[in-house]
Homo-oligomer: A and B are copies of this chain.
Amino acid sequence: MNNFIFQNPTKLIFGKNTISNLTKEIPLSSKIMITFGGGSVKKNNVYSQVTKALDSHNYIEFWGIEPNPSVQTLRKAIALGKENKVDFLLAVGGGSVIDGTKLISAALNFDGDAWELVRNPSLINEMTPYASVLTLPATGSEMNRGAVISNTETQEKYSFYSSYPKFSILDPETTYTLPKFQISCGIADTFVHVMEQYLTKKTNPLLMDRWAEGILQTLIDIAPRIKKDQTDYEAMANFMLSATMALNGFIGMGCQTDWATHMIGHEVTALTGVTHGQTLAVILPATMSVLRKQKCDKILQYGERVFGIKGNDDLTIDKIIEKTKEFFRSLELATSLTELNIDEKIIFEIEKRFNERKVKLGEDKNVDGTVAKEILMACK
């Protein structure tokens, strides 16, 4: 077990009809900017609940933060926020809206260009307080300090770390009308967030292993229920809770972590636009296969505890990887690059980028351009 420091101050407000809590959670004296995505919140009643709760507050709206939020869009929000002397941000949407809002929060008190903050977060001085109303469970952004921002000009996508949301409101009923593909990608994203913290070394805390397996088991239990009935409250609530708990630090205490699958996935998204969760469903099984030797102990533990597959040879590992793919396929996600029409040019470009950046990923810091290419080749 590694030494660690853990602290997560975000207030989680969870359950039915909780959006009305906004009234008392945001100080009445605040000058708020509410940030939104493309407009689905107007169809599912979230927008009306938010504006009703903030009826007596002073707010402006910024619309149009896209999936894989781009610095190009966010610059406009930052300009609007500065112009209006905004001192509180409320993100209403999924991980992309919240991630984008984290950059706005960091940039409102910064004179330079926002992309500088993404590339060098040590420049972040004071964050404007922000909070969220989550409508799409997936990224965990509602209860962590990470964000992933894209640059459409350079086709780049980077993570940066800032401060935690003051609070996040999670009403599972807001997820009833989400497109099926987004839910599948959210489940895959959550699953892989767990695997990145779990599928590394036997030296991780025994308790963290159990908690990671607990999220995986929950996702496997609820996925067919959600497929059958997206208004199954208990299933959607467990999905929403699992997504938050998968990436808020709770299962990573004292752990060696990986993140190679995510970093490769971000490149695929940056270069092709394929949805994040979908890229992970393709890449994770290949990462497991290519790194089967170093991950052998944990792959076998995962297979036995999560899927009940016993054994300790290479064939068992194949079975476990196949079972993982089967789970992603049960979500109607692709598990190969071919299905996504992604060809070798993209693979070579990612190899080149990793080599240029001298990237060394994974718990053993051995996933460089060459290994990334090997993983991507195994995704074909």
Contacts and interface: CB of A to CB of B under 8 A. Distances in A.
A129 interface: no
A241 B213 contact: no
A96 to B, nearest CB: 24
Given A4-B14, A15-B4, A18-B3, A214 B221 contact: no
Contacts of A11: 5-7
Contacts of A203: 234
B218 A241 contact: no
Nearest to A143: B6
Contact of A237 (B1, B9, B14, B233): B1
A155 interface: no
Interface stretch (A204-212, A338-346, A366-374): A204-212
B5 A238 contact: no
A316 to B, nearest CB: 21
A85 to B, nearest CB: 29
Contact of A211 (B2, B10, B211): B211
Interface in A311-369: none
A9 B12 contact: no
Nearest to A235: B206
A271 interface: no
Given A250-B250, A253-B14, A254-B14, A207 B3 contact: no
A76 B31 CA distance: 48
Contact of A213 (B1, B2, B214): B214
A86 interface: no
Contacts of A15: 1-4, 254
A7 B10 contact: yes
Contact of A218 (B18, B206, B234): B206
A218 B222 contact: no
Residue picked from A11, A203, A207, A233, most chain B C-beta under 10 Å: A207
Contacts of A241: 1, 205, 207, 253-254
Nearest to A207: B218
A254 B10 CA distance: 17
Interface in A1-46: 1-16, 18
A245 interface: yes
Interface string A269-288: 00000000000000000000
Contacts of A217: 210
A106 interface: no
A242 interface: yes
A233 B2 CA distance: 11
Residue picked from A11, A205, A214, most chain B C-beta under 10 Å: A214
Interface of A: 1-16, 18, 167, 203, 205-207, 210-211, 213-215, 217-218, 221-222, 233-234, 237-238, 241-242, 245, 250, 253-254
Given A3-B14, A207-B214, A241-B254, 7 more contacts: A1-B237, A1-B238, A6-B12, A9-B9, A14-B254, A207-B238, A210-B217
